[in-house]
Amino acid sequence: MNGLVDAHHHIWRQADLPWLIGPMQPRIFGPYEPIRRDYTIGEYLGDLGGCGVSQSVYVQTNWAKERFEDEAAWVQRTADEHGFPHAIVAYADMDTDDVRPQLDRLARYGLLRGVRMQLHWHDNPLYRFAARPDLCADARIRANIARLADYGFSFDLQVFSGQMAGAAALAEHCPAVTFILQHAGMPEDLSPAGREAWRAGMQRLAACPNVVCKLSGLGTFIHRNDPAHIADIVAETIVIFGASRCLFGSNFPIEKLWTSYRDLVAAYQSALAGFDASERDAVLRTNAMRVYRLRQDVPVTAV
């Protein structure tokens, strides 16, 4: 299939990312020495070569907070020069009195489609990113996320299952904002109890019509490309959200720690083999085009 959209990937210069400079630290995706370097658009395009990808969405990579606009500007220049990516999800600090001055600056960039501020918190400190678990209920953060609607920006939502009820309440508080749940809700606990908690949280989020789900990062907690695991999570997520509300993302180069792009795409295509052609097309292409407002006139011929 040509015309795939990769709705979640990164590129970077190591010097811009504090977390890639200095000694390795514990991360949810395990040891990451192989990616403690530049990951250029040229390498990304080489990785996806022959896989049928026509468009892609860049997602922020945790530059220093005060350099949020520098990140957007660099990715926009990269896209202008290379034709990839086709949309940008930038960073903005929602934990501020008024995020609108930041959004005004980001709105200058033509490919800006959304914002991600990672809200995920976990009892396990290795999985923890946010300062506390209840940021979804913070009045200031809620007010700022609601302001995204005035700019036509979506919000890439990253939480664990224990936070999903609060995340659903946040989505309900901001009905004019599209929320894009990251990494299929990050199912880190694959025990029966853990899966049930994840399932209940996903159902709660799916009850919000302004939430869609990104099928990405499914190797994050198992540190491998496991087609059976991907098929399991993909199938259940589609049952919960429906094929019209799920979209594929590679999460490269994080997933490059354990797999090739070709093998990753093959695993997703295998996971979707039991769905009809229109459902496969929705997950792999048209949903991302709608959610991230990608151009319709980009040729379907693929890299």
* CA neighbor of 122 nearest in space, from 211, 187, 169: 187
Instruction: In whole angstroms, give the CA distance from residue 289 to residue 161.
Output: 27
At 74, the pLDDT band (50, 70, 90 cuts) reads very high
Q: Identify the three-state secondary structure at position 53.
A: strand
Distances (CA, A) of 99 to 150, 170, 279: 12, 17, 37
Q: Answer with the residue of higher pLDDT: 67 or 129.
A: 67
Tokens of 74: 């660099």
Mean pLDDT to the nearest integer, 177-189: 96
Q: Which pLDDT does position 303 carry in this prediction? A: 61
- CA torsion through residues 200, 231, 186, 30, sign: positive
Q: What is the pLDDT of residues 142-173, one digit of tens each?
A: 999 999 999 999 999 999 999 999 999 999 99
The terminus-to-terminus CA distance of the chain in angstroms comes to 12
Six-digit token string for 75:
């990715």
Examine the pLDDT at 301 and tell me if it is beyond 90. Answer: no
Beta-carbon contacts of residue 46 (< 8 Å; ≥ 6 apart): none
Distance (Å, whole) CA 128 – CA 37: 23
Which pLDDT score is estimated for 299? 65
Digit-coded pLDDT (tens) for 226-278:
999 999 999 999 999 999 999 999 999 999 999 999 999 999 999 999 999 99
CATH class of the domain whose range is 4-291: alpha beta
What percent of the chain clears pLDDT 90, i.e. is strictly above it? 87
pTM above 0.85, yes or no: yes
Could you tell me if 44 and 252 are in contact, meaning their C-beta atoms sit under 8 angstroms apart? yes
Average pLDDT value over all residues in the chain: 94
Confidence of residue 121 (pLDDT cuts 50, 70, 90): confident
- What is the CB-side half-sphere exposure of residue 105 using CA atoms within 13 A? 15
Integer Cα distance of 93 and 96 in angstroms: 6
